[in-house]
A and B are shown apart, each in its own frame.
Chain A
Amino acid sequence: MLDGLNAVDLARAQFAFTMSFHIIFPAFSIGLASYLAVLEALWLWTGREVFINLFHYWLKIFAIAFGMGVVSGVVMSYQFGTNWSAFSDKTGPVIGPLMAYEVLTAFFLEAGFLGVMLFGLKKVGPRLHFLATLMVAIGTLFSAFWILSANSWMQTPTGYAINAAGQFVAADWWKVIFNPSFPYRLVHMVLAAYLTTAFVVGAVGAFHLLRDSRREGARVMFSMAMWMATIVAPIQIIAGDQHGLNTLEHQPTKIMAMEGHFDSHPNGAPLILFGLPDMEAGKTKYAIEIPKLGSLILKHSLDAPLAGLDTVPRENWPPVPITFWSFRIMVGLGFLMMGLGLLSLWMRWRGRLYDSRLLHGFAMAMGPAGFIAVLAGWITTETGRQPFTVYGLLRTIDSASPLAAPAVASSLIAFVIVYFLLFTAGVVYILRLMAEPPHHGEEGPRGDTPSHAAGITPASGATMTQGRSAT
């Protein structure tokens, strides 16, 4: 039935589009919320004005990014029902409670304290305000916990049974929540969110240092961001490798697609660096490969046998080229991130951190790297588990709503138009805020009206140094 097929493809396109749009904002705001908590803690601890200026500077940006994350997230929470009702009926008893816990532990926590965090510093005082910031930051992490648990269960389902109505039901909640791929995915994603934020902060710092390397606010944020890059990027590469090994164990087909391995290699598989995977021909054409290295990375042995897609029925193949290429984009960016971290360490060692144009140019270019890597990583893992929504158990084609193609097509078009309109506006507003350097007496998110915020000092502010202006 051609109509039915089209409606499913359209629903997939809609999910991919709205999800990709959405993930950008949490990826940024998870890291930014933690960064804001660190900045405010440093302000309370040291009393240095530069920290509260940076806090307010990034708070304005956070307000926009968080708002866009919220509204695009509400769309996601209803899309399961509108476009994937068969999936909702079957997996609701397992996935639903995980999402309900996300709402109860994370969304309410974030939303309940967000108002105080954004507008309440003068009303509640620095200490309670810091508590609010901390709650928002913790809320973003709780949110990551639950939603990644739900996603991981779809990738590596455990702890379930199937009832008479054909629904998945939980037999063991502990096994559902802590399913095999969850710890790896959680670590990998939270680190990715931290790196995404670090590279944005680093790029903004670099931008302002390029114009005037004496700016204190820019120096502090750039230095903090580069420490993150230096320390976290290598950890992320290790975490990613471990995640990959876990995937090999539980979703070997995904690894075959990521590596472009159509053929089985009984005596050690090569590592294909680049090539053109051709699903029809069943081979990766023009492959540039390093013999045996694939087995060394995946099995830690040069001659370990590695099965290829030729051992998997064709109807269970994921779209190989997308998985193959998005994986390479993610890994490539990961190594570039580590490169920037190492370069910054070298420049720091030589005392050139704040005046190396090379470093600042590189950092600016890497500003969007986190977002691209996050998207590429998600495309890898979500495409690689096709053609299933619940891996090995529920096919994507059996998950969709009984909708006619025109209904899905019109809502898809509506979302594309609305999101591009608002995305453009939001990015322009964020970039406009970033174009200004953080300055003395920086204000919170309602900065267009006369304010009296500059006089606020932390309760412990014994060492308040008013003279250290941020510019």
Chain B
Amino acid sequence: MIGTIDIPLIWAFIIAFSVFVYVVMDGFDLGLGILFPLFPKKADRDVMMNSVAPVWDGNETWLVLGGGGLFAAFPLAYAVLMPALYTPMIAMLIGLVFRGVAFEFRWRSQRERNRWDTAFFGGSLLAALAQGIALGAILQGVHVEGRAYAGGWWDWLTPFSILTGVALIAGYCLLGATWLVMKTTGDLREKAYHLSWWLLFAMLGAIGTVSLATPFLDAEYARRWFAWPNILLTAPVPVAVAAVTALLLRSLANRQDYRPFFLALALFALSYAGLGISMYPYIVPRSITIWQAAAPHSSQVFMLVGVAVLVPIILAYTAWAYWVFRGKVDPESGYH
């Protein structure tokens, strides 16, 4: 579209932004849940839970915006991807249900606390795995005929999607551990520091493996990354990953409580940018582009007005909520 603003592209960025905000915000909640079995003490678990209790609901709302926004701005992509990802989506939703109710339920019964802690762990793990699998399944492409998904209901399950599932778990755990470093004190923080080392290497391994496997999915991905002159644009991504890793290692060694979390977020941002490079300009890889899936102009413009006005306000009061509950969680108090 020459001479006019490319609204579908703006919307692609908005959806990508929502999903990214979701991944980094709910990522640390979910990672913290996955790490629960490594922190068996009730007092530790109380602190861990309380460090995210005031914000988890807002974090999860970005997932609803990502899904709802996709439905509204790219209905064709939503209509194709959801049936293609049927089982991982249902699994993710059920995982989120278990994880979500555990936030309140575990405080309501001494006797059943362990049960809800298990639900919190299991739900977080299931949701993270399913999200990672969904990512892999999207990258490897889905079978489309006409305006509908035409594959089977197990197509999503491949070694590659399992790999991305495990990779995302590793990444979320790193976010969770560095979050704990930032929000806690004493033995809990020590343990989180220790875990962060291991999880950083796990995440790097995961990023490396997924990056190496992706070009083998399709020649187009390989050309995108390695052909001249694209490589001039793509080469900085791995270089930046290496630089962030070095900074992260140093901040862990120097025990800077706040920095590791934000550097881990930077690693996520870089991986995410890498995914964007691989996928563009498709919204369903190699089947449907951003423009093919776009809702009519009137729908996208109508929503864009709302997004332009409301998202800055949302970010402002979300920041305020984080500010209210800033700093270390007081282990002595059930309150914050």
Q: Once bound together, how far apart are the Cα atoms of A186 and B279, in whole Å?
A: 42
Q: B83–A82 contact, CB under 8 A?
A: yes
Q: B54–A82 contact, CB under 8 A?
A: no
Q: Once bound together, how far apart are the Cα atoms of A429 and B109, in whole Å?
A: 8
Interface residues on B, range: 35 or more
Q: A114–B57 contact, CB under 8 A?
A: yes
Say yes or no: is A315 at the interface (Cβ < 8 Å to chain B). no
Given known A-B contacts A108-B318, A113-B321, A418-B97, A444 and B335 have beta carbons under 8 A apart: yes
Name B295's contact: one of A81, A93, A173 (CB within 8 Å). Answer: A93
Q: B325–A123 contact, CB under 8 A?
A: yes
Say yes or no: is A245 at the interface (Cβ < 8 Å to chain B). no
Say yes or no: is A415 at the interface (Cβ < 8 Å to chain B). yes
Which residues of A in the span 83-121 have a Cβ within 8 Å of any Cβ on B? 85-86, 88-97, 99-105, 107-116, 118-120
Chain A residues whose C-beta falls within 8 Å of the C-beta of B197 in the assembled complex: none
Residue of B nearest to A408 (CB): B86
Chain A residues whose C-beta falls within 8 Å of the C-beta of B104 in the assembled complex: 63-64, 67, 429, 445
Say yes or no: is A163 at the interface (Cβ < 8 Å to chain B). yes
Q: A401–B107 contact, CB under 8 A?
A: no
Q: B75–A104 contact, CB under 8 A?
A: no
Q: A96–B299 contact, CB under 8 A?
A: yes
Size of the A side of the interface (Cβ < 8 Å), in residues, is: 82
Say yes or no: is B336 at the interface (Cβ < 8 Å to chain A). yes
Which residues of B in the span 29-46 have a Cβ within 8 Å of any Cβ on A? 46
Which residues of A in the span 400-455 have a Cβ within 8 Å of any Cβ on B? 401-404, 406-407, 411, 414-415, 418, 422, 425-426, 429, 432-433, 444-451, 453
Chain B residues whose C-beta falls within 8 Å of the C-beta of A449 in the assembled complex: 46, 333-335
Contact indicator per residue, chain B 50-86, by CB within 8 Å of chain A (1) or not (0): 1001110110110111011111110110111111001
Residue of B nearest to A165 (CB): B147
Q: B72–A104 contact, CB under 8 A?
A: no
Say yes or no: is A214 at the interface (Cβ < 8 Å to chain B). no
Q: B54–A92 contact, CB under 8 A?
A: no
- For residue A81, give the distance in angstroms from its CB to the closest CB of chain B: 3
Contact indicator per residue, chain B 79-123, by CB within 8 Å of chain A (1) or not (0): 111110011011001101110110111011110100000000000
Given known A-B contacts A81-B83, A104-B314, A418-B98, A432 and B108 have beta carbons under 8 A apart: yes
Say yes or no: is A1 at the interface (Cβ < 8 Å to chain B). no
Stretch among A29-37, A69-77, A301-309 lining the B interface: A69-77
Which residues of A in the span 24-73 have a Cβ within 8 Å of any Cβ on B? 63-64, 67-68, 70-73
Q: Once bound together, how far apart are the Cα atoms of A99 and B101, in whole Å?
A: 24
Q: A78–B105 contact, CB under 8 A?
A: no
Q: A77–B58 contact, CB under 8 A?
A: no
Q: B335–A453 contact, CB under 8 A?
A: yes
Q: Once bound together, how far apart are the Cα atoms of A80 and B78, in whole Å?
A: 9
Q: A64–B105 contact, CB under 8 A?
A: yes
Say yes or no: is B235 at the interface (Cβ < 8 Å to chain A). no
Given known A-B contacts A71-B97, A92-B71, A97 and B302 have beta carbons under 8 A apart: yes
Stretch among B204-212, B266-274, B305-313 lining the A interface: B305-313
- For residue A6, give the distance in angstroms from its CB to the closest CB of chain B: 15
Contact indicator per residue, chain A 333-373, by CB within 8 Å of chain B (1) or not (0): 00000000000000000000000000000000000000000
Say yes or no: is A170 at the interface (Cβ < 8 Å to chain B). yes
Chain B residues whose C-beta falls within 8 Å of the C-beta of A78 in the assembled complex: 67, 82, 89, 93
Which residues of B in the span 205-257 have a Cβ within 8 Å of any Cβ on A? none
- For residue A293, give the distance in angstroms from its CB to the closest CB of chain B: 45
Say yes or no: is A167 at the interface (Cβ < 8 Å to chain B). yes
Q: A120–B75 contact, CB under 8 A?
A: no
Say yes or no: is B149 at the interface (Cβ < 8 Å to chain A). yes
Say yes or no: is B9 at the interface (Cβ < 8 Å to chain A). no
Say yes or no: is A297 at the interface (Cβ < 8 Å to chain B). no
- For residue A151, give the distance in angstroms from its CB to the closest CB of chain B: 15
Contact indicator per residue, chain A 119-144, by CB within 8 Å of chain B (1) or not (0): 11011100000000000000000000
Given known A-B contacts A88-B82, A100-B65, A429-B108, A119 and B53 have beta carbons under 8 A apart: yes
Q: A77–B295 contact, CB under 8 A?
A: no
Q: B57–A120 contact, CB under 8 A?
A: no
Chain A residues whose C-beta falls within 8 Å of the C-beta of B55 in the assembled complex: 115
Q: Once bound together, how far apart are the Cα atoms of A64 and B55, in whole Å?
A: 15
- For residue A454, give the distance in angstroms from its CB to the closest CB of chain B: 12
Which residues of B in the span 307-333 have a Cβ within 8 Å of any Cβ on A? 307, 310-311, 314, 317-318, 320-321, 324-325, 333
Q: A418–B54 contact, CB under 8 A?
A: no
Q: Once bound together, how far apart are the Cα atoms of A71 and B92, in whole Å?
A: 11
Say yes or no: is B148 at the interface (Cβ < 8 Å to chain A). yes
Chain B residues whose C-beta falls within 8 Å of the C-beta of A123 in the assembled complex: 324-325, 336
Say yes or no: is A169 at the interface (Cβ < 8 Å to chain B). yes
Chain A residues whose C-beta falls within 8 Å of the C-beta of B97 in the assembled complex: 71-72, 74-75, 418, 422
Chain A residues whose C-beta falls within 8 Å of the C-beta of B307 in the assembled complex: 104
Q: Once bound together, how far apart are the Cα atoms of A78 and B67, in whole Å?
A: 7
Residue of A nearest to B84 (CB): A85
Chain A residues whose C-beta falls within 8 Å of the C-beta of B72 in the assembled complex: 92-93, 95-97, 99-100
Residue of A nearest to B149 (CB): A402
Say yes or no: is B153 at the interface (Cβ < 8 Å to chain A). yes
Most chain B CB within 10 A, of A80, A89, A111, A418, is at: A111
Given known A-B contacts A119-B54, A402-B148, A449-B333, A92 and B75 have beta carbons under 8 A apart: yes
Say yes or no: is B298 at the interface (Cβ < 8 Å to chain A). yes
- For residue A133, give the distance in angstroms from its CB to the closest CB of chain B: 14
Chain B residues whose C-beta falls within 8 Å of the C-beta of A170 in the assembled complex: 296, 298-299, 302
Chain B residues whose C-beta falls within 8 Å of the C-beta of A92 in the assembled complex: 71-72, 75-76, 78-79, 295, 299
Q: A81–B299 contact, CB under 8 A?
A: no
Q: A116–B321 contact, CB under 8 A?
A: yes
Q: A74–B306 contact, CB under 8 A?
A: no
Given known A-B contacts A104-B311, A119-B335, A414-B90, A88 and B65 have beta carbons under 8 A apart: no
Residue of B nearest to A446 (CB): B334
Residue of A nearest to B101 (CB): A422
Q: Once bound together, how far apart are the Cα atoms of A169 and B298, in whole Å?
A: 8
Q: Once bound together, how far apart are the Cα atoms of A373 and B335, in whole Å?
A: 37
Given known A-B contacts A80-B71, A88-B75, A401-B82, A115 and B54 have beta carbons under 8 A apart: yes
Q: Once bound together, how far apart are the Cα atoms of A112 and B312, in whole Å?
A: 13
Say yes or no: is B150 at the interface (Cβ < 8 Å to chain A). yes
Most chain A CB within 10 A, of B104, B306, B320, B334, is at: B104
- For residue B62, give the distance in angstroms from its CB to the closest CB of chain A: 9
Name A403's contact: one of B58, B83, B108, B147 (CB within 8 Å). Answer: B83
For this complex, 17 residue pairs linking A to B, each with C-beta atoms less than 8 Å apart, are: A68-B101, A77-B71, A78-B89, A81-B70, A85-B83, A96-B299, A97-B306, A100-B71, A110-B57, A113-B317, A113-B321, A122-B335, A407-B153, A429-B105, A429-B109, A448-B334, A449-B334
B binding-site residues for A, Cβ under 8 Å: 46, 50, 53-55, 57-58, 60-61, 63-65, 67-73, 75-76, 78-83, 86-87, 89-90, 93-94, 96-98, 100-101, 103-105, 107-110, 112, 147-150, 152-153, 295-296, 298-299, 302-303, 306-307, 310-311, 314, 317-318, 320-321, 324-325, 333-336
| Closest A-B pairs by Cβ, 5 of them | A92-B75, A96-B72, A81-B82, A115-B54, A449-B334
User: Other CB < 8 Å A-B pairs besides A112-B318, A115-B54, 10 of them?
Assistant: A68-B101, A82-B83, A88-B78, A104-B306, A111-B61, A115-B324, A124-B324, A173-B302, A403-B83, A450-B333
